[in-house]
Amino acid sequence: MKNLILEMRYIWLVGLCLSAANLVAQEDTVFLQALIIPGESVQNYLPGESTTIVDIQPKDVSSELSSLLQNNTGLYLRKYGGEGQLSSISFRGTTPNHTILTWHGVDINSQTLGQTDFSSLNTFLFSGVNIYHGASSSVFGSGSMGGTIELINENQKDNGIAIEAQVERGSFGKQFHGLKLNFKKGRWLTGINGFSNQVDNNFRVNFRGEEYNQNNASSHLLGVLAFVGYQLSDRSRLEMDVWFNRHDREIQPIMGDRINEDEILDRNVRVNVKYQTATKVGFLESNISYIDDRQTYNHSSHTNLKRYVLALDYDLSLVEKLTLKLGGGASLLRPDVDSYDDDVRQERADLYVLSAFQLLENMKLIANLRQAFMTGFNAPVSPAFGVEWVSNNINWGSSLHLTRNYRLPTLNDLFWRPGGNPNLKAEDGWMTELGAFIAPGNDRNQLKLKGNIYRNLVNNLIQWIPGGQGIDEEGNPVSFWFPQNVRKVHITGLEVDLEYKYQLSPSVRAKVSGTYAFVKSINKTKGGASDRSLNKQLAYIPRHKATQNLTLWLGSSSFSVDHVFTGLRYTEANNENSLPAFGIWQTSVGHQFKWKQSLIELGFQVRNVLNKAYQNYELRATPGRNYLINLNYKFSKLSS
């Protein structure tokens, strides 16, 4: 009954917004093909080439977000086994808690753990991903000490209907089904995207001379994203998105364990209502979001959290060459966690001002400031300063960036029982970055090469350590782990991105791209007499990561080869044990068939072509060579 009431509440909320839009429609039945002025992107307040835009290609249209990022960027995603298993990120040598994942500007990381499981997100629901490299707490808030990843959904621009369907079959019980329906007429825009991804992960494992099929590793991921928008006038519009995500999976045990039957169920409901309007001097946007995250471990341990978020920002240009983004937000967190006290709640708020000044024709100055507030906690002020220079023909440029960053303690850090520590400080630090790019080219040849070097100093890093002593409910003494600000980390790194496009004719094209990331993430704190981690690389952060891709288009056919190299990773803080470096190859071919207003694409992929045995996380087996065939159908009947 409780679950039914919750689901009815979501349906009621959708209905309320649709009813409001209908009321507005009754006031004005003249449908206009109107556009409103978009607000300044946050990229305008980040100097240099600090943004990577990852378009979702046909071979990636149904990938886990973890696979998309691992195969196409310098980011390192460590996965605890096969497809659908836990996947966490290391961005520029930081821990998983130092990367923010946003949707409509809302941080959708787990607020209890402070991180995202990137295997629980599928690219089918989205049109692209924006990656903002580097610490930028002044723009994105708490936690953006390594970088920020933004999920993008571009709405249909023309009147008419668009349909897309995807079906896949692959090795180890892989089955994917996806459907997108989009419709726009006059002032109205609506659509729904949904998918189901099932994989058994019963691949062969070779451990200490014994071969067996991987056990307890199946995963079923289900996602639905529905949206509706209404153009209130030629200057304003109202939109609503409802995103349901459910991930039901078994937890893959370590190699050699044939008994473990642990499983975990995640269910997420995310609702966002957005209002946008253009004024004489700027652009106003307001968002109201409701997020309900629920997790159940082995059908008995529950972690539930409801969040209510209000955000408002205003882009304006009062004087020539100066643009501002003024904004703020507030959120209420209501956790229901078995290991918390019953009356836990938390309020948070942010105020910020972002500014960009075009000092010269080729030079832009950036100055940002953010102040966060949290119940019972003093959050630091986060300023940022930058300068960007770009040549007249935009063929080359450079930038310099200095910012202070922070991460507030998670709910687990503060309220876990036993062990939660309400006296923690925020993690904070300073980052400096120098970037440059060159982009020569013509109609046939296009080259873009960009690089960044950076230095990130992180203080008061929170770490859970043993040594806590207490009394349980029955009066017995217990020992437990508890969080402390015990670490200082110095991070130095280099990023290089290369892309070259060549077009022999409209039907014959080629693209070569690659990324390289070098990271030294060094612990600068000695934890005690027996601690041997001083001046050592942080665990599970490779110093070297590289990707290479070659794609050819010949008429209606395409062919691609991808290679991902991951360097040696230490599995312990003292760097005494490690996992060896490895490289994984994959290839894909595709062919398109056009018929009237329909487009059909048939694709075939071979992953881990060389059948490489490797471990992304210690003692978690990964699949060998595997195959995937996919069929994609698109139909559109549009009019401008």
Question: Which amino acid is it at 295?
Answer: Q
pLDDT digits (tens, 9 = 90+) for 53-105: 888 888 888 899 999 999 999 999 999 999 999 999 999 999 999 999 999 99
Torsion, Cα 268 120 333 102, to 10 degrees, reads -110
Question: CA 394, 398, 400: angle at the middle one, nearest 5?
Answer: 145
Asked if residue 418 has a cis previous peptide bond (ω within 30° of 0), the answer is yes
At residue 17, the pLDDT reads 40
pLDDT digits (tens, 9 = 90+) for 524-573: 998 777 889 999 999 999 999 999 999 999 999 999 999 999 999 999 99
Residue 13 has pLDDT above 70, yes or no: no
Residue 474 has pLDDT above 80, yes or no: no
Residue 2 has pLDDT above 80, yes or no: no
pLDDT digits (tens, 9 = 90+) for 478-491: 888 999 999 999 99
Cα–Cα distance for residue pair 466/537, rounded to 1 Å: 22
Residue 312 has pLDDT above 90, yes or no: yes
Cα–Cα distance for residue pair 226/528, rounded to 1 Å: 53
Cα–Cα distance for residue pair 419/466, rounded to 1 Å: 10
Reported confidence tier of residue 16, pLDDT bands at 50, 70, 90: very low
At 565, list the tokens: 């190299």
At residue 28, the pLDDT reads 37
Task: Return all residues near 284 (Cβ < 8 A) that are at least 6 apart.
Answer: 276, 277, 278, 312, 313, 314, 315
pLDDT digits (tens, 9 = 90+) for 280-299: 889 999 999 999 999 999 99
pTM: 0.91
Mean pLDDT computed over every residue of the chain: 91
At residue 4, the pLDDT reads 34
Task: Return all residues near 115 (Cβ < 8 A) that are at least 6 apart.
Answer: 88, 89, 96, 97, 99, 109
User: What percentage of the chain's residues is helix, strand, coil (to nearest 5)?
Assistant: 10, 60, 35
Mean pLDDT along residues 627-636? 96
Reported confidence tier of residue 110, pLDDT bands at 50, 70, 90: very high
pLDDT digits (tens, 9 = 90+) for 214-252: 999 999 999 999 999 999 999 999 999 999 999 999 999
Residue 6 has pLDDT above 90, yes or no: no
Cα–Cα distance for residue pair 373/426, rounded to 1 Å: 12
pLDDT digits (tens, 9 = 90+) for 506-517: 899 999 999 999
Reported confidence tier of residue 112, pLDDT bands at 50, 70, 90: very high
Residue 34 has pLDDT above 60, yes or no: no
Reported confidence tier of residue 39, pLDDT bands at 50, 70, 90: low
At residue 639, the pLDDT reads 85
At residue 12, the pLDDT reads 37
